[in-house]
Amino acid sequence: MPIINSQFSPNFWFKNPHINTIFSNRIKKQKSPKYLRKRYETADNDFFDVDTILSESDTAVIILHGLEGSSKSGYILEIADYFSKTWDVWAMNHKSCSGELNLRKTSYHSGRTEELIFLLDEIIDNYRKIYIVGFSLGGNITLKYLGENAQELHPKIKAAVAISAPVHLNSSARTLQERKNWFYLNDFLVSLKKKAIEKIRREDPDSAKILLLEKATTFVEFDNLYTAPVHGFLDAEDYWTKCSSRQFLPEISIPTLILNAEDDPFLSDECYPYTEAMGNQQLYLEVPKYGGHVGFMESSGRDRWYLHRLMTFLKNY
Please give the average pLDDT of every successive group of 10 residues along the chain, which has 317 residues. Answer: 84 86 78 93 95 97 98 96 97 97 95 98 98 98 98 97 98 94 95 96 89 96 97 98 98 98 97 97 97 91 90 95
Helix H or strand E segment including 256: strand 256-259
Instruction: Say if 8 falls within a structural domain.
Output: no
- Structural domain ending residue among the three candidates 224, 243, 262: 243
Q: What is the pLDDT of residue 252?
A: 98
Complete DSSP assignment for 90-147: EEE--TT-SSS--SSS----TT--HHHHHHHHHHGGG-SEEEEEEETHHHHHHHHHHH
Number of alpha helices (DSSP H) and beta strands (DSSP E) in the chain: 12, 8
Q: What is the pLDDT of residue 1?
A: 62
CATH number at residue 137: 3.40.50.1820
- Structural domain ending residue among the three candidates 243, 269, 292: 243
> Which pTM was predicted?
0.96
Instruction: Say if 3 falls within a structural domain.
Output: no
Print the domain residue range for 234. 174-243
Q: Domain tally for the chain?
A: 2
Instruction: Say if 5 falls within a structural domain.
Output: no
| Same-domain check for residues 221 and 285 | no
| Same-domain check for residues 163 and 124 | yes
Instruction: Say if 7 falls within a structural domain.
Output: no
Burial-class residue 84 by CB neighbours within 10 Å (0-12, 13-18, 19+). Answer: buried
| Same-domain check for residues 80 and 159 | yes
Its sign, for the CA torsion 299, 167, 92, 21, is negative
Q: What is the pLDDT of residue 133?
A: 98
